[in-house]
Structure 1
Amino acid sequence: MNVLYFGMGRESIVPPMKMGLAGYFNTRIWTGVLDPIEVRCCVMKQADITAAIVQFELITVTSELQQAVRSVTQKHLRDFVMIVTATHCHTAPELRIGRGGYDENYVPFAAAAYEKALLQAIHSLSECRSIQSGQAFSMDFCFNRRFWMKDGTVVTNPPKCSPDIVRPEGEIDPEIPLILLENEHGKLLFASISNHADTTGGTEISGDWPARTAHETEKVLGPGSMCIPLIGCSGNINHFDIHDPGEQTSPEEARRIGNGYAVSIINGLKNLHEEPLTLEKACRKFHIGSRELFPEELSEAQEILRKYPAEDTAGSSAPLTARDFAEKSPKVLRYFAENLIKVAQAKKEFDFEVSSVSLGNAVVIGLPAEPFVEIGLEIRKEIFAGNTQVLCAIMNNGSGSGYIPNLWNYRRGGYENTPRSNPYSIHAAAELKKICRKLKEDLKK
C-alpha cells in the first residue's frame, strides 16, 4: 500500500487595519482583540492523490478569498482537491464586498497568511501512523431557532419565554463525527459540529466558541497537534435556549459553549475505531439559479418601503440582528425589503462546488453556503450511509454566505428564507443533495 502523508500549519489572520466585523445588519468597527483568530491548514498526500482542508476563523469564504487561496495553492501543489471553509464566527473581519466596514486589503492579507500556513503544512509532511474515527455527542448547546407560533407562522429567534411559542419547526443534529490522524509531529482532529458561531457579541475580534473548542481540545491532544472544528449544516440552528430568560450573548457564553463542546469531543476520543490508511478525493460543480420570488413577498416589501422612511441601517449604533427582525423593528424590516428589491432586480445566478476527502471509510464533505440541518442529516444518514463517519463543512470554496432552506421552509416566516438571506433558487437543497449522490458514486470508483 502507498504511504499516506499529512502535515499541518496555522497562522494569525488578525487584521492589521481597522475595519468592520461581520455578522450583523449594521457596521461594527473592531475595537480590540479578545482572542486571536487564525487560518488552519492541513495537506494530505498518497501516491498521486493530494488534498487540502483549510479553515478560516471568518464569517465565510467569499469567491475573492477562494480565488486568492486557490492561486496560492497552485504555486505549491498540483492536481489537488480543496475544502476551504470558515467557522462562520460573527466577531471576525467583514470580507464581503459592499458590506459595512469592508476593506479591500484584507483578502490579500488573509491569503498571504494562508500561504504561510500552507508552507508549514507542506514542510511538515510525514507518514500517517493511524486514522481513527468515531463520534461525540452534545445536545446542551444546539437548538432549532425557527419556531411555530400560535398564529400559524414561523419566527426565527422569537422572544424568549414567549407564551406564543408552540414548538420548534425542525430538528437538531447533536452528533459530532470525528476523524483523528497521527504522525510523528502530533495529532490532527476533525470534528463537525452543527451550530452557529454567534455567541460572543460586542466589537472585539474573537474566534467565538469554535476557537475555544479547538484550544481546549488541543491541550488534550498534545504538543504539535491541531483541532479543526468544522461547522456542520446549521442554517436553522443556534445556541439560544428560548426557555432560558437570561442573556446568551457574551464572551462568557462563548467560553461556556466552547468548553462544553471540548469536553464532549474529548470523551468521544475514548471510543475511536481504526480506519484503513487510504486517501481519496472527489469534486463536483453545479449551477444554481436566482431566488424565485413569491407574489406576496414582493407586495409586502413594497408596502414596507411605503410605510417606513429610509434610515441609515448600516450606521446604527446598536447591534441589529435576527432578533430585531423577529420583533419587527421598522429599521430592519426596511433593510430586508430594500434587499429583496435588489435581489429581484439583480437576478444573480451562482456556481457552487462540493468537495470531498475520504480518509479510510470516513469522509469530509465541503458544502456550499449555509444548508439547514435537515439537509445535513440526509447527506450524512442517507446519501453517505455506508461510511463510518460523515463530517460536513459548510460555506465551502467561495460560496459565500446565504441560507439553503428545505423547500418546505418557504412561505412560513422567519428571516433565513427571505431573498436577502437566501438569494438562491428555492430548489437549491434538492440540487445539492443530487450532487452529493453523484459525489458518493465518484468516491466509489
Structure 2
Amino acid sequence: MPNANKLLLGKNRIDITPDKDTILGGATISGKIRVDYIKDPLYANTIVVVREERKMAVITLDLLMITRKYVELIRHELHSRWGFDPDAVMIHATQNHKAPSLGHFKISEDYGGIPEELNWLRGGDERYHPYAVERIIASVEAALDAPEPVRIGYGGGVEGRLAFNRRMVMKDGSISMPNAVGPAAPNSRYVEGPMDPDLGVVAFQSEAAPISALLLHYTCHPVHQLGHFFISADWPGAWVNEMKSSHGEQCVSVVLNGACGNINPWDPYADKPQDDAGVMGNRLGVSANGVIEKIAFQDDAVLDWKIVHIDIPLRKVNEADLESARRYIADNPNPRWLTDVVLDDKWVYASGMLDLHEQYERNPLYRYEIQVLRIGDAALVGLPGEPFSEGGLAIKLGSPSPYTIIAHNTQFAGYIPTKEAFLRGGYETTTSNWSKFVPEALDLIVAASLETLKSVFK
C-alpha cells in the first residue's frame, strides 16, 4: 500500500437482533405481532471514514424505521464521546418490514389518547429501543478502534429486473398495488411511474484486503414474504451476505436503500412474482461484483458534509375526516380486539388522524432535514421519509456528482409522493401520519437537495 494514502477507514458489523417477543411495527396497522422464528439476524453496519482531522460515519440498520428522536440521540453521543460533527453522521434504516422500529412512528409520543398498556400501537417497542441504541454506539466504537489506510474507488451499474413501480393505474383511473400473489388485475392499464435501476458502489481497498468495505446502493421496499412473521434482514441483508461470500468475512457492506416510496420487488406482470429475498440478494451481488471488477482505486478523497433544513407544510386534516375521527373515538373510547393479536384498525386510524391534527395545530410546518455527505467523487444524500422514485431520479440527474447515492428513511417522515400521484389517490397519498405533507413536498425536497449538492461539490 503506497504511503500516499490519506484516508483511514474503520468498520464494524454488530448484531441488533431483538428477542422473538419484540413487536414488529410494520406487519399490520394495529397488530400486536410477535414473530414465529428468526430466519436471519439483523445488524447495524458501520463505516467511519477519516481524513486528517475530519471524520464521518455512515450507519445502516436492518430496521423498519428510525425516528428523529433517536437520530439526534445517537448523533449527540457520537459528538460527546468522539468529537463527530453531528452533521457528518448519517443513520439509515433500510425500511425492513421483518424488523422492529427504533422509535414510535405510527402515532407520536405527544398524542395522549393511547392507553399506556397499548403503547406499542404507536409503532415501536420500548423494550427494544435502549438495546438498539447501545449496540449502534458500540458499533461505532469498534469501528474507531481499528482504522486502516485505504484506497477508494467508485462504480455504477444497471439492474432493472428486481424492482417495480407498485402503483398500477386501473381502467377507471384509480390506483391499485400489485402484490406477490400473481399478475396484475385484468382491469389494469399501466404502472404509474418509473423504478430506479441504478446500482451504486463505493469500494475501499486496504493492504490486507482487496475489498475491505463497500457502500452499496439500490432502490426497493424490503417487503418479501409479507404474510409470514419472522425476523430477517430481507434483500439488504441477503446482499451483504453475498458480498461477504465474495470478498471474505472481513468485508463490511453498508447498503443504502434509495427513494423507494413507490417501488416493490414484485413484477406485476409475472405469473408468480419472485418473493425470495435471497434470490434478490444473489442477483444484486452478481451485478455489484461486475461493477467492482472495473473499479480503479485512488489514494485520496475529499470529505465534506452539510445538513440543511426546509419547512414543508403539513396537510390540514379536512373537517369531515376530523369530525368522523372524533366521533369514532367518542363512541369507542377503548379499542376492540378483533382477534387475540389485532385491534380495531378504525380506532387506530382515527387516533392517528387526531394526532396529525394536533401536530398541525402546534406547528403547520415540518422541519425536514436534507443531508449530503461527500466522499471524493461520491455523494450520499440522506432524505427522511419515503420519497417516490421520481424524486430520487431527479436528484441523480441534476447532481454534480457522477456517483450520487440516495438514502431514504434517514428519519421517519412518511410517504412523499409526486404531485401527479395525488390526482389519482391511493394508499401513499391518504392523509395520515404516514402521508402528511402537501403535494408540492417532493419538488421542494428535490430543489433543496440539488442546491445543497452544488454547495458541497463546489
For this structure pair, what is the TM-score category when the shorter chain's length is used for normalisation?
0.7 to 0.9
Q: Residue 416 of structure 1 aligns to a residue in which SS?
A: helix
Change (3 A) 1:9 1:185: farther
1:39-118 paired onto structure 2 within 5 Å: 39-74=44-79, 75-79=81-85, 81-97=88-104, 98-100=119-121, 102-118=124-140
Q: Residue 173 of structure 2 aligns to a residue in which SS?
A: coil
Partner of 2:25: 22
Change (3 A) 1:208 1:319: farther
Shift of 1:293: 4.2
Q: What is the aligned counterpart of 2:407 among 393, 399, 404?
A: 393
1:243-258 paired onto structure 2 within 5 Å: 243-246=269-272, 249=275, 253-258=276-281
User: Aligned partners of 1:223 and 1:161: how far apart in 2?
Assistant: 41
User: Aligned partners of 1:231 and 1:104: how far apart in 2?
Assistant: 26
Q: What is the aligned counterpart of 1:239 among 248, 265, 282?
A: 265
Partner of 1:325: none
Q: What is the aligned counterpart of 2:304 among 256, 265, 281?
A: 281
Deviations 1:136-190 (A, max 9, x none): 2211221100011101122333784311110011111111111111123541111
Change (3 A) 1:359 1:160: same
Task: Tell which deviates more after alignment, 331-340 or 171-180.
Answer: 331-340
Deviations 1:36-64 (A, max 9, x none): 10101111111232111001110122123
Partner of 2:141: 119
Identity value in percent: 23
User: Aligned partners of 2:252 and 2:429: how far apart in 1?
Assistant: 35
Q: Residue 307 of structure 2 aligns to a residue in which SS?
A: strand
Q: Is this contact kept in 2: 1:133–1:275, CA < 8 A?
A: no
User: Aligned partners of 1:373 and 1:411: how far apart in 2?
Assistant: 17
Deviations 1:23-45 (A, max 9, x none): 13233112321111010111111
Matched, 1:427 2:440: yes
User: Aligned partners of 1:161 and 1:2: how far apart in 2?
Assistant: 53
Change (3 A) 1:288 1:424: farther
Matched, 1:178 2:201: yes
Task: Tell which deviates more after alignment, 373-382 or 97-106.
Answer: 97-106
Shift of 1:209: 1.2
Q: Is this contact kept in 1: 2:102–2:132, CA < 8 A?
A: no
Partner of 2:116: none
User: Aligned partners of 1:317 and 1:287: how far apart in 2?
Assistant: 43
Q: Is this contact kept in 2: 1:160–1:244, CA < 8 A?
A: yes
Amino acid at match of 1:355: Q
User: Aligned partners of 1:132 and 1:221: how far apart in 2?
Assistant: 16
User: Aligned partners of 1:140 and 1:56: how far apart in 2?
Assistant: 25
Change (3 A) 1:317 1:430: farther
Amino acid at match of 2:404: V
Change (3 A) 1:370 1:319: farther
Partner of 2:243: 217
Amino acid at match of 1:233: A
Deviations 1:207-258 (A, max 9, x none): 1111011111121122411111210111000012222343755xxx111222
Q: Is this contact kept in 1: 2:24–2:34, CA < 8 A?
A: yes
Q: What is the aligned counterpart of 1:268 among 288, 291, 305?
A: 291
Amino acid at match of 2:50: K
Q: Is this contact kept in 2: 1:136–1:176, CA < 8 A?
A: yes
Change (3 A) 1:352 1:303: closer
Change (3 A) 1:166 1:317: farther
Partner of 1:326: none
Shift of 1:313: 8.1
Q: Residue 21 of structure 1 aligns to a residue in which SS?
A: coil
Matched, 1:5 2:8: yes
Q: Is this contact kept in 2: 1:39–1:117, CA < 8 A?
A: yes
1:331-342 paired onto structure 2 within 5 Å: 336=349, 339-342=352-355
Partner of 2:376: 360
User: Aligned partners of 1:335 and 1:414: how far apart in 2?
Assistant: 19
Matched, 1:190 2:204: no
Shift of 1:283: 1.8
Q: Is this contact kept in 2: 1:178–1:191, CA < 8 A?
A: yes
Q: What is the aligned counterpart of 1:405 among 385, 398, 417?
A: 417
Change (3 A) 1:313 1:31: farther
Shift of 1:99: 4.4
Q: Is this contact kept in 1: 2:325–2:354, CA < 8 A?
A: no
Change (3 A) 1:261 1:160: same
Change (3 A) 1:314 1:90: farther
Amino acid at match of 1:244: A
Shift of 1:316: 5.1
Matched, 1:417 2:429: yes
Unaligned runs of 5+ residues in structure 2 are 105-118
User: Aligned partners of 1:242 and 1:333: how far apart in 2?
Assistant: 29
Aligned pair count reads 425
Deviations 1:2-33 (A, max 9, x none): 81111101211112472211213233112321
Deviations 1:69-96 (A, max 9, x none): 1132121233351111011100112333
Deviations 1:254-290 (A, max 9, x none): 1122222222212222222445621322222314344
User: Aligned partners of 2:32 and 2:384: how far apart in 1?
Assistant: 25
Partner of 1:328: none
Q: TM-score, normalised on structure 1? A: 0.86
Q: Residue 425 of structure 2 aligns to a residue in which SS?
A: coil
Amino acid at match of 1:400: F
Matched, 1:35 2:35: no
Unaligned runs of 5+ residues in structure 1 are 321-330
Q: Is this contact kept in 1: 2:20–2:34, CA < 8 A?
A: no
User: Aligned partners of 2:162 and 2:239: how far apart in 1?
Assistant: 13
